Amino acid sequence: MGIVQDLEQKKNFTDTEIAIADYILMNPDEIKDLGIVDLADATFSSNAAIIRLCRKLGLNGYKEFRIAFVSDLEKIRHLQKDTDVDKPFDEVDGTASIMRNIANVSQAGIEESYALIPPGRLNTAARMLRQAKRIYIYAAGDSLITAKGFANYMLKIGKIVIFPADYLESTEITSGSDENDVAMVISYSGYILASMQREIKTLKRNRTPLIVVSSIKECEEADLHIPVPDRERSIGRIAGFYSQSSIRYILNCLFGIVYSKDMEKNKEFKNKTEVYNYTDLDYKQE
């Protein structure tokens, strides 16, 4: 997670640390040249309080914090200035411009997801997926297409993936889940959650843990929430370039972590699957 994001969330901050964080966020351009004594005076705190805050953010001291904060701030401003995630091109843009702008939007989705998501949260999700007997996935629209790609990866290392809505009996199929399975809701807007309350109640009753990948701020239904950067509008965008780049990156990371934990086993299973597929293809061509 980025330094600016950490300061905005103020997770487990004391009242003094909240006051320091608020001052920094309200006066970001001053921090580059502001010494620790001046910051302590401006926030009616102390050098020790500022150092404690820096360490809570994973940094050794104020000097390291100042460098990290300025770097993160410049990165955010660069992305916000140069990237219109909802309309990355218009009728006056040529092919080269459209190619560059879509590349920028896609890269922004990846970089901002990387900055936002705590690695420990992805590691927890990957452990749940790795240990799961079956994976139930709920998604719709663009996110469903992205989720299908993730499912294809997981199937190739021997994981059983089920999309209950594919059979038009989502609640009935969900009822077959248990505590040895994992359910995933993959939805940028999170709107799908409102339409699957019966499924969520069934998952809770069956003690099936639920992972939600979404841009919504809080998700009471989730046992584990993986946040997606909330920059793209649901209505009025040209396409989901940004949102799906973000979600695809997150799912790719989850697959990568799962794969790495049983590297040789997964490699052997995947190679065997691919050999069978190519053999069948050769047979059909003959």
**Residue 71 to residue 115: CA distance in whole angstroms:** 12
- Give yes or no: residues 174 and 226 share one domain: yes
- Give yes or no: residues 46 and 177 share one domain: no
- Give all strands of the β-sheet with 160-162 in edge-to-edge order: 160-162, 134-139, 182-186, 210-214, 224-227
Residue 52 makes CB contacts below 8 A (sequence gap 6+) with: 17
Domain range for residue 75? 3-82
- Give yes or no: residues 38 and 151 share one domain: no
- Give yes or no: residues 249 and 132 share one domain: yes
Are 245 and 237 in contact, with CB atoms under 8 Å apart?
Answer: no
pLDDT band at 166 (very low <50, low <70, confident <90, very high): confident
Are 125 and 211 in contact, with CB atoms under 8 Å apart?
Answer: yes
Confidence (pLDDT) at 181: 95
- Give yes or no: residues 38 and 149 share one domain: no
Are 105 and 241 in contact, with CB atoms under 8 Å apart?
Answer: yes
Are 132 and 182 in contact, with CB atoms under 8 Å apart?
Answer: yes
- Give yes or no: residues 223 and 141 share one domain: yes
- Give yes or no: residues 39 and 169 share one domain: no
- Give yes or no: residues 130 and 19 share one domain: no
- Give yes or no: residues 125 and 49 share one domain: no
Mean predicted confidence (pLDDT) in 94-105: 81
Which CATH number does the domain housing residue 42 bear?
Answer: 1.10.10.10
> What's the whole-model pTM score?
0.66
**91 domain residue, yes or no:** no
pLDDT band at 286 (very low <50, low <70, confident <90, very high): very low
pLDDT digits (tens, 9 = 90+) for 35-82: 999 999 999 999 999 999 999 999 999 999 999 898 888 776 665 555
Are 176 and 129 in contact, with CB atoms under 8 Å apart?
Answer: no
Confidence (pLDDT) at 131: 92
CA-to-CA separations, 98 to 84, 92, 103, 209, in angstroms, rounded: 12, 10, 8, 42
Whether residue 17 has pLDDT greater than 90: yes
Tokens of 136: 């139930």
Q: Output the average pLDDT for the chain.
A: 85
**Residue 90 to residue 42: CA distance in whole angstroms:** 46
**106 domain residue, yes or no:** no
Q: Indicate the residue among 34, 57, 82 that finishes a domain.
A: 82
pLDDT digits (tens, 9 = 90+) for 214-252: 988 778 888 999 988 877 776 677 787 888 899 999 999
Whether residue 107 has pLDDT greater than 90: no
